[in-house]
Amino acid sequence: MGFFRCMNQFCASGPHGKLGHDFEGAVPVCPKCASDARLPRYAHLIQQLETIHYDPPDPKVFGMGQGILACRPDFHWTEPGRDRRAYHVSGVKEAVNCPVCKASPLFLADEPDREATKPPVGDLTNGPPLESIPEQFRDVELRVQQTREGPALVKAS
């Protein structure tokens, strides 16, 4: 069983839709145009896809995932010592193709309000307001301000 994408232009969902046609199968044969990647004549049309798991969005930090796989919620793929390159994850549901992830309660649950977790946008000349930056990243922001404005403007925390 594998995930594949047929790049025959006539298999795309529409002229303005996503390129290619994604399908799952035991053999790399497009169900729409019958291109068979095992035959050299058609091999260039079919791409093998990685399994993309769902990493649900972090409820607090905008743009971050929780570091888990929805199909294995007890497994922290970002834990130190793990080879992160071995895991293909996305927080964008449309990009996920793992069938177990797609059937999981985490995948089916409503996403947190992403707008609510965005830091407030105001005058960003000197970076976002310090209060809007999560505690664990504040020292990083101070260094950025240091290089930009010189040590005199660095706020003592």
**Residue 46 in the binding site for Zn ion (CB under 5 A):** no
Burial state string for 52-81 with b = 16 or more CB within 10 A and e = fewer than 16: bbbbbbbeeeeeebbbbbbbeeeeebeeee
**Residue 6 in the binding site for Zn ion (CB under 5 A):** yes
**Residue 66 in the binding site for Zn ion (CB under 5 A):** no
> Footprint of Zn ion on residues 85-104 (CB under 5 A)?
98, 100-101
Cα dihedral angle (51, 67, 109, 107), rounded to 10 degrees?
Answer: 10
Among 37, 53, 56, 141, binds Zn ion (CB under 5 A): 53
- What is the total count of residues that contact Zn ion (CB under 5 A)? 11
Residue 151: CB atoms within 10 A of its CB come to 8
Q: Which is nearer to Zn ion, 100 or 133 (CB)?
A: 100
Task: State the residues that interact with Zn ion by CB under 5 A.
Answer: 6, 8, 11, 30, 32-33, 53, 71, 98, 100-101
